[in-house]
A = this chain, B = another copy of it.
Amino acid sequence: MIPNWLLQRAYLTPERTALVFNDQTWTFREMKDIVHELATKISGYSVSRQSRVAILVKNRQTTVFLIHALQSIGAEIVFLNSRLTASELSYQIKDSGSSVLLYDQDFYTTVKDLEYLSIDLNAYSIENIMTSSQKKLGNVRSDFDLDETCSIMYTSGTTGKPKGVRQTYGNHWWSATGSSLNLGLQENDAWLCAVPIFHISGLSILMRSVIYGIPVFLMEDFNEKQANLFLQSGKVTIMSVVTATLNRMLTDLQNEIYHENFRCMLLGGGPAPLPLLEKCAAKNIPVFQTYGMTETASQIVTLSPEDSFAKLGSAGKPLFPAQIKIVRTDGKAADARETGEIALKGPNITPGYLNQKHFLQDGWFLTGDLGYLDEDGFLYVQDRRSDLIISGGENVYPAEIEAVLIAHEAIDEAGVVGISDPTWGQVAYAFIVGKAFSEEELLQFCRERLASYKIPKRFIQVKELPRNAANKLVREKLRLLIEGIK
């Protein structure tokens, strides 16, 4: 058991700034008061302890309040990616068994298409709830149980079928404290959140804010000009980015530099390319590369700036409470520089997916990613699990796209791979076997079924797909095909 984080933070340091959004500022005390009122109102909407509540929200102050209110009630929060289509959303809401959907008014047109809840959805927008006169007394929890599920986020995994990852209060706690042991914690710290809150990268910033007692500077959408202004102001000391957003910031920054207070650019989504590191070094921008995923409640391995050139391409070393092991195909631990599956252990790792038992193997999470450790114990990630494509910080699973494509009447077979892209890090390319097709029609077909970031950038017709003896698609060889057509 641990004290309710916001409650405890508002008790310990009530006058510290908790949140800055659109030039408005809230202290922890002010935030606690708003959250208590909101919790009281929400509990009038059939939300109670252990309710599962799906939320479809933007990066706004109301979302921060909503998350703390749901935690105070003790509801499990299902975070929906707002870029998903109605059919993708419906699947996750149904699969998670969410009893209620709370959403930002902006998403009303998306939400009204969901055949899911029989109630009048009008009442369930955050804006309506905040302004309602509902006053049913809610039970605000004084403690959190570290083993209890706090949040659920969907990830597609190897099968292409999205699975709900359970993140406990303990996962978030150990992630936050493990990170602070690595990055330190200073009195003037403030974290810029320009990544989506529905991602673990964004949610983890909100959790750290109350645990550390530091402000979050929240941006509704990423904007390189605004982000640069924050980093030049001296008000922000840490920011989470992916390669694509960092590139845009550097381009916008031109010959300027950041304020000396800025001490950590936390870069997720794969190792940084050398030119990017060189640009950052020239501007004295301390880049901490990280490896992590929804299942590890954000970063679990990090590379500090002083190692980034000597250990180029490495993801670094684990956070203090965590461990890495490389497992060979015969199940034994690999030697240094020997490739195998990356296995992780630590208290920040999910207890498992929804409706799934036996997640860990002897306490280890087998990531499906391939990599090795060098003789100093630095991790090198060689291939993401199931050919995971990371595009603009979003996970894209080839199997999921292939399943959609094959459903099209003109298509017999489909194979999808990620190709490196200067803007997005990676983008998806689709190889198709089947009748002649119009690209525009295929695009339209995909748009109805897939979030835009998942839609292949190119559709390439081939005679046959490379398969192995067991007739399994060999995605590695698809990349070779691309070399041919480039």
Chain A, 444-457, contact with B by CB distance < 8 Å: what is the 0/1 string? 00000000000000
A131 to B338, CA, bound (A): 39
**A181: CB under 8 A from chain B?**
yes
Nearest residue in B to A177 (C-beta to C-beta)?
A: B177
Of all chain B residues, the one with the shortest Cβ separation from A12 is B317
Q: How far is the CA of A181 from the CA of B180 in the complex (A)?
A: 8
Closest to A318 in B: B12
A211 near B1: Cβ-Cβ < 8 Å? no
Among B186, B317, B323, B347, contact of A184 (Cβ-Cβ < 8 Å) = B186
Using known A-B contacts A1-B363, A363-B1, A377-B11, determine if residue A181 contacts B211 with beta carbons closer than 8 Å.
yes
Number of copies of this kind of chain in the complex: 2
| Size bracket, chain A contacts | 20 to 34
Cβ of A185 within 8 Å of any chain B Cβ, yes or no, is yes
Which B residues are in CB contact (< 8 Å) with A330?
Answer: none
Q: How many Å from the CB of A168 to the closest CB on chain B?
A: 15
Q: Bound state CA distance, A1 and B363, in angstroms?
A: 9
User: What's the Cα separation between A212 and B177 when bound, in Å?
Assistant: 11
A1-32 vs B, CB cutoff 8 Å, 1 = contact: the mask equals 11100001101100000000000000000000
Partner of A185, one of B185, B318, B321: B185
**A230 contacts partner chain B, Cβ-Cβ < 8 Å:** no
A320–B12 CA distance with the chains assembled, in angstroms: 8
- Contact call A317/B11, Cβ cutoff below 8 A: yes
Residues of B within 8 A of A377 (CB): 11
Q: Is the CB of B3 within 8 A of A181?
A: no
A213 close to chain B: CB less than 8 A: yes
Query: Closest CB of chain B to A173's CB: distance in Å?
Result: 9
Q: Say whether A2 contacts B347, CB under 8 Å.
A: yes
Chief secondary structure at chain A's binding surface = mixed
- Chain B residues with Cβ below 8 Å from A323 are 3, 8
- Given A1-B363, A2-B347, A11-B377, A181–B186 Cβ distance below 8 Å? no
Q: Which residues of B contact A185 (CB under 8 A)?
A: 180-181, 184-185
CB of A215 to closest CB in B, whole Å:
15
From the candidates B11, B184, B363, name the one contacting A187 in the complex (CB within 8 A): B184
A8 touches B181 (CB 8 A): no
A180-B185, A184-B184 known; A321 and B2 CB under 8 Å? yes
- Taking CB atoms, residues of chain B closer than 8 Å to A2 are 321, 347
Known: A8-B320, A180-B185, A211-B320. 20 other contacts (CB 8 A): A1-B345, A2-B321, A2-B347, A3-B320, A3-B323, A8-B323, A9-B320, A11-B317, A11-B377, A12-B317, A12-B318, A12-B320, A177-B180, A177-B181, A180-B181, A181-B185, A181-B211, A181-B212, A184-B186, A186-B186
- Closest 4 pairs between A and B when the two form their complex, measured CB to CB: A184-B185, A177-B177, A185-B185, A12-B317
Interface residues of A (CB under 8 A from B): 1-3, 8-9, 11-12, 177, 180-181, 184-187, 211-213, 317-318, 320-323, 345, 347, 363, 377
